[in-house]
Amino acid sequence: MERKNIRLEELDINKRIITHLQAQGISELFPPQASAFKTDVLNGKNLVLAIPTSSGKTLVAEICMLKAILDGRGKALYLVPLKSLAREKYAEFKKYESLGITTSMSVGDYDSPGKSLHDADIVIVTTERADSLVRHKVEWLNDVGIVVADEVHLINDQKRGPTLEMVLAKLTQIVKDIQIVALSATISNANQIAEWLDAELVRDTWRPVPLSEGVYLDGKISFYRDGKNTQRRINRTRRDELADVVCDTLDEDGQVLVFVSSRRSTIAVAKKLAPFLRRYISDEAMRQLSKGATKIGGAPSAPEASKILARLIANGAAFHHAGLDNKERALVEDYFKENLLKVIVATPTLAAGVNLPSRRVIVRDYRRYEPERGSYPIPILEYKQMAGRAGRPKYDEYGEAVLIARTEPEQDFLIDNYTLSEPEEITSKLASPRAVRAHLLASVAAEMTRNREEIDSLIAGTFFSHQFDQWEINQHVSSALGFLEEGSLIETSTDGSYTATPLGKRTSELYIDPYTAILLRDVLSETDDHNIIGILHLICHTPDQPLTYVTKSEAEEYEVTVDDYLDKLMIEPPIEESPRAYSDFLAQIKTATLLQDWISEKTEKDITERYNVGMGDVHRFVQSAEWLTYAASEISRIINATSHIHFLHNLRSRLRYGVRSDILELVDLKGVGRVRGRMLHSHNLVNLPDLYKVPIEELARIPTIGTSIAESIKKQLGFDIKLTDTETEDLIDDDDSIDSMQTLLEDFGA
């Protein structure tokens, strides 16, 4: 159905914004955007915008944020679930700097340089970071006038959903008159979200770029669009059906995004497709690709996974999953946007919000495997999000989403259950012991709720209470309060009011599970003894530490390791418990061993190969262990278990840098990491006085050091040196340090 667009000038907003948007190539509003502005949203009314993928929800949110900022209603908080999405939005919002409107971002281990969150007008954060800001009672939160919840269907997520609804409930309670704008393409019960948020609701099915969804079987895609069914024949010339479906789009100069269910498959499928791509890539593009490949996998010490990625990139294909590190992730996304890479094979970590030039999205796997659940078909909502990555206005005139069937009954199943289906209703996942105890402690510790009545009123403001009877969660609330009190994280006074103990307060600020704090406290208060593997395993035994898996064939090896370590462990192996508890225990032992290798300076290559993980994973394990070690030292301090403190501090530094104790002093220098630190040490430069004394020329001659690093070291030691190379900063492999726990919880773990 053709509908009239509305010109930007008709909007009641500052003319400078209009001119700015026009310069970005936006002159008219899409019809659903126009409907959004017919509500009272520009005057501060809450809005739920439930319109299709790629229909421009961000622009609506953007204009609302700018209006709130320029009207003096306060700064804007933009919540996102995924790192890649945050990066994209940051790049977009930064363009408003020419209007004097500044943007900052804080996600995961990456904070945008420049303006601090405090000073910025627009602040982009992950849900967990927002929660942490609330816990720390960050003062500028009171200046927030508008919060945008992008991809608000995250509420449906078992792990992360509770945090999002609590953040929204808390912000509404602590910031007077805060405006909420919630966005999603895939909530069929958007009316419930709107009622919950007391928001106007705008729904629409209009999409600027038509999207056909279909299912491939046996040389043919059966497409559906607007109720019409069409068939597309696929040239079957390659003895690989997936390659045929991919090349069908490449033949017409399009690009393809393939979704698969596991990281391992991303690599396998990318490898399988790469040999078919050469003829679609110009020589000039080949040269650029090979430059990028060198950046990723060029160093002899690069981990095997990075080398594989590099080889694929050089051939025009790439894989993408949460195990990639920031540099790899950015390069893959940017090269795809520049049409250098023709194909990306990804896990759902690219499935929401991002704008990519993928004319065709292929969802190869509609089943997923999780150890706890076995194999199950993915929710329609997730399929629709993946499908929605196809056909984005900036890049394509049309989009196609294709599922792959092997048999006719399967094709029918896919058409009925995905192609022609509406997403499921989203439901609150707040009623879980883990979520409730963490969020209750946080609200008591921040003095937001001082008694049961106030707790009930906070809970009453959640989506859970809107959707279900509150009594259903009362039970969880009562037992969580009991748990926190018994664990001495909170205290009840005679008048029934709650206060957090010093340990409870710190637990909340540290963003760790109350269960973790109690475990660490109990174990560390019991003994003055400690040893590396014992502590590393204790850390891995907490529910906050991500773990690697133990495969069936590895189980025996780690059973032996358990026996070897038995005297040193601070937690005993489970006896006669479920096999599940034992296999968890083995996974903890395996992860602890990995961490021990890291602080023994085993190379990245050795670690990734021995444990069959990517470097991104290693960083994740290490960062989280570093944080939990810090948490353990904080807890030791609070409970006066002073014998552990120095040991834990030392261990924390070793985890941060991945080094033995003898070079800790060296790696504290900027630009000196585990490799250069060891190199200096092996040249008899073992401490700062040695480095002070050594002539700069000699220092520069040491392998891996060179002139710019030598200069930088000398400068840090107080020498008056002008850096000859202004790009030194780039040369310096900064050791990513992490400042808190919530950053690890983002990304769907995909």
Residue from 173, 262, 355, 704 binding ligand ATP (CB under 6 A): 355
Residue from 35, 57, 651, 694 binding ligand ATP (CB under 6 A): 57
Torsions phi, psi for 523 (to 5 deg): -70, -45
| Number of neighbouring beta carbons within 10 Å of residue 560 | 10
393 binds, among Mg ion, ligand ATP, none (CB under 5 to 8 A by kind): ligand ATP
Q: Nearest approach, Cβ of 95 to ligand ATP (angstroms)?
A: 11
Torsions phi, psi for 518 (to 5 deg): -65, -40
Beta bridge partners of 257: 344, 361
DSSP H or E run through 382: helix 380-387
Cα(97)–Cα(121) distance, rounded to whole angstroms? 10
Torsion of CA 605, 606, 607, 613, to 10 degrees: 60
Region binding Mg ion by CB under 5 A among candidate stretches 49-57, 97-105, 197-205, 741-749: 49-57
Burial status of residue 726 (CB atoms within 10 A of its CB: 0-12, 13-18, 19 or more):
exposed
- Asked if residue 297 binds ligand ATP (CB under 6 A), the reply is no
- Asked if residue 391 binds Mg ion (CB under 5 A), the reply is no
Burial status of residue 721 (CB atoms within 10 A of its CB: 0-12, 13-18, 19 or more):
middle
**The amino acid at 225:** R
Region binding Mg ion by CB under 5 A among candidate stretches 353-361, 376-384, 439-447, 736-744: 353-361
Total interface residues for ligand ATP by CB under 6 A: 19
12-41: contacts with ligand ATP (CB under 6 A): 26, 28-30, 33
Beta bridge partners of 203: 50
Q: Which is nearer to ligand ATP, 57 or 541 (CB)?
A: 57
- Asked if residue 616 binds Mg ion (CB under 5 A), the reply is no
Q: Nearest approach, Cβ of 78 to ligand ATP (angstroms)?
A: 12
User: By the 8 A CB rule, do 355 and 392 touch?
Assistant: yes
Cα(211)–Cα(215) distance, rounded to whole angstroms? 13
| Number of neighbouring beta carbons within 10 Å of residue 719 | 11
573 binds, among ligand ATP, Mg ion, none (CB under 5 to 8 A by kind): none
Q: Which is nearer to ligand ATP, 52 or 614 (CB)?
A: 52
Beta bridge partners of 362: 258, 402
Q: Nearest approach, Cβ of 31 to Mg ion (angstroms)?
A: 17
Give me the residue label for tokens 């970071």. Answer: 129
- Asked if residue 54 binds ligand ATP (CB under 6 A), the reply is yes
Cα(163)–Cα(153) distance, rounded to whole angstroms? 12
User: By the 8 A CB rule, do 659 and 672 touch?
Assistant: no
29 binds, among ligand ATP, Mg ion, none (CB under 5 to 8 A by kind): ligand ATP
498 to 517: interface string for ligand ATP, x by CB under 6 A: --------------------
Residue nearest to Mg ion (CB): 353
Cα(378)–Cα(365) distance, rounded to whole angstroms? 9
Q: Which is nearer to Mg ion, 51 or 168 (CB)?
A: 51
Q: Which is nearer to ligand ATP, 107 or 185 (CB)?
A: 185
Residue from 394, 406, 580, 646 binding ligand ATP (CB under 6 A): 394
Q: Which is nearer to Mg ion, 57 or 439 (CB)?
A: 57
Torsions phi, psi for 137 (to 5 deg): 45, 45
Three-state secondary structure string covering 68-87: HHHCCCCEEEEEECCHHHHH
Region binding Mg ion by CB under 5 A among candidate stretches 255-263, 278-286, 347-355, 476-484: 347-355
Residue from 35, 46, 55, 222 binding ligand ATP (CB under 6 A): 55
- Asked if residue 58 binds ligand ATP (CB under 6 A), the reply is yes
539-568: contacts with Mg ion (CB under 5 A): none
Cα(432)–Cα(170) distance, rounded to whole angstroms? 18
Q: Which is nearer to ligand ATP, 27 or 527 (CB)?
A: 27
394 binds, among ligand ATP, Mg ion, none (CB under 5 to 8 A by kind): ligand ATP
Burial status of residue 359 (CB atoms within 10 A of its CB: 0-12, 13-18, 19 or more):
buried
Rg (CA), the chain: 27
Q: Which is nearer to ligand ATP, 64 or 667 (CB)?
A: 64
SS3 403: strand
Residue from 74, 214, 353, 616 binding ligand ATP (CB under 6 A): 353
Cα(663)–Cα(263) distance, rounded to whole angstroms? 35
Q: Which is nearer to ligand ATP, 4 or 693 (CB)?
A: 4
Region binding ligand ATP by CB under 6 A among candidate stretches 39-47, 55-63, 298-306, 398-406: 55-63
Cα(155)–Cα(464) distance, rounded to whole angstroms? 10
Q: Which is nearer to ligand ATP, 74 or 353 (CB)?
A: 353
DSSP H or E run through 630: helix 615-638
Pairing between strand 28-29 and 179-183? unpaired
- Both tokens assigned to 2: 């053709």
Q: Which is nearer to ligand ATP, 388 or 677 (CB)?
A: 388
- Asked if residue 347 binds ligand ATP (CB under 6 A), the reply is no
Total interface residues for Mg ion by CB under 5 A: 2
User: By the 8 A CB rule, do 412 and 423 touch?
Assistant: no
Region binding Mg ion by CB under 5 A among candidate stretches 55-63, 173-181, 246-254, 272-280: 55-63
Residue from 392, 429, 620, 674 binding ligand ATP (CB under 6 A): 392
- Asked if residue 353 binds Mg ion (CB under 5 A), the reply is yes
Cα(641)–Cα(670) distance, rounded to whole angstroms? 33
| Number of neighbouring beta carbons within 10 Å of residue 527 | 12
Residue nearest to ligand ATP (CB): 56
Q: Nearest approach, Cβ of 13 to Mg ion (angstroms)?
A: 20
User: By the 8 A CB rule, do 341 and 316 touch?
Assistant: yes
Q: Nearest approach, Cβ of 355 to ligand ATP (angstroms)?
A: 5
Q: Nearest approach, Cβ of 674 to ligand ATP (angstroms)?
A: 40
Region binding Mg ion by CB under 5 A among candidate stretches 33-41, 54-62, 583-591, 681-689: 54-62
Q: Nearest approach, Cβ of 91 to ligand ATP (angstroms)?
A: 11
Residue from 185, 257, 260, 390 binding ligand ATP (CB under 6 A): 185
Q: Which is nearer to ligand ATP, 62 or 128 (CB)?
A: 62
- Both tokens assigned to 6: 């509305």
Give me the residues that bind ligand ATP (CB under 6 A), please: 26, 28-30, 33, 53-59, 185, 353, 355, 388, 392-394
Give me the residues that bind Mg ion (CB under 5 A), please: 57, 353
